[in-house]
């Protein structure tokens, strides 16, 4: 290996990075199509907010802003729009009335579930066209990336989705 040339490991990492970047473009397109097909008038950033509320449960607006990497005022405006659409609701906790918590409504939960089921079907169609020699190993690598990004594998995400709408006293 000469100076300036990547070794095999770094070359392989670059190939994986490039492949995942290309895959991310495909996934964003699938996301846009599944959300758009529902006719719910929800932007991708708004949908990302709903997804976070499934995965993390009710959040304070300031915590939501941090998760979305936006200013608190941007998160608050987004929540205002989602409240008007009936997809999230604001709650106060009796022990801390200074903080407002944002949680999914049943309508928000249903919208997310339908979009994710449609997206799963589209991805399943893509996977069916592949010839994977070690699909379980491939899934393990993808799940490791999901966890490295701070999210949870799909089965765990769906368990959270099932209990995503809090009871009145749970927020």
Q: Which residues of 71-95 are buried (b: 16+ CB within 10 A; e: fewer)?
A: eeeebbebbeebeebebbbbbeeee
Query: Regarding beta strands 88-93 and 59-60, do their DSSP bridges make them parallel or antiparallel, or are they unpaired?
Result: unpaired
Residue 8 has pLDDT above 70, yes or no: no
The string of pLDDT tens digits covering residues 34-50 is 988 888 889 999 999 99
pLDDT band, very low/low/confident/very high, at 167 (cuts 50, 70, 90) = low
Calpha distance 135→138 (Å, rounded):
5
- Contact call for residues 72 and 95 (beta carbons, < 8 A): no
Residue 35 burial by Cβ neighbours in a 10 Å radius (0-12, 13-18, 19+): buried
From the candidate CATH numbers 2.30.40.10, 1.10.10.10, 1.10.1040.10, 2.30.110.10, the one assigned to the domain spanning 8-162: 1.10.10.10
Residue 64 burial by Cβ neighbours in a 10 Å radius (0-12, 13-18, 19+): buried
The string of pLDDT tens digits covering residues 64-97 is 999 999 999 999 999 999 999 999 999 887 777 6
Residue 105 burial by Cβ neighbours in a 10 Å radius (0-12, 13-18, 19+): buried
The string of pLDDT tens digits covering residues 89-142 is 998 877 776 778 999 999 999 999 999 999 999 999 999 988 888 889 989 999
What residue ranges do the domains of the chain occupy?
8-162
- Contact call for residues 79 and 65 (beta carbons, < 8 A): no
- The full DSSP string for 74-93 is HHHHHHHHHHHTTSEEEEEE
* Predicted TM-score of the model (pTM): 0.82
């Amino acid at each position: 290996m000469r100076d300036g040339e990547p070794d095999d490991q770094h070359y392989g990492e670059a190939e994986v990075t490039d492949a995942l970047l290309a895959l991310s473009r495909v996934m964003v397109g699938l996301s846009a199509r599944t959300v758009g097909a529902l006719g719910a008038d929800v932007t991708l950033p708004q949908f990302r907010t709903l997804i976070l509320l499934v995965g993390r449960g009710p959040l304070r607006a300031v915590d939501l802003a941090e998760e979305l990497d936006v200013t608190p005022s941007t998160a608050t405006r987004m929540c205002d729009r989602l409240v008007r659409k009936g997809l999230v609701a604001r709650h106060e906790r009796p022990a801390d009335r200074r903080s407002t918590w944002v949680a999914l409504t049943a309508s928000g939960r249903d919208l997310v579930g339908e979009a994710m089921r449609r997206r799963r079907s589209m991805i399943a169609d893509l996977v069916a066209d592949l010839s994977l020699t070690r699909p379980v190993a491939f899934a393990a690598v993808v799940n490791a990336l999901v966890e490295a990004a701070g999210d949870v594998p799909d089965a765990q995400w769906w368990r959270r989705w099932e209990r995503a709408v809090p009871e009145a006293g749970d927020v």
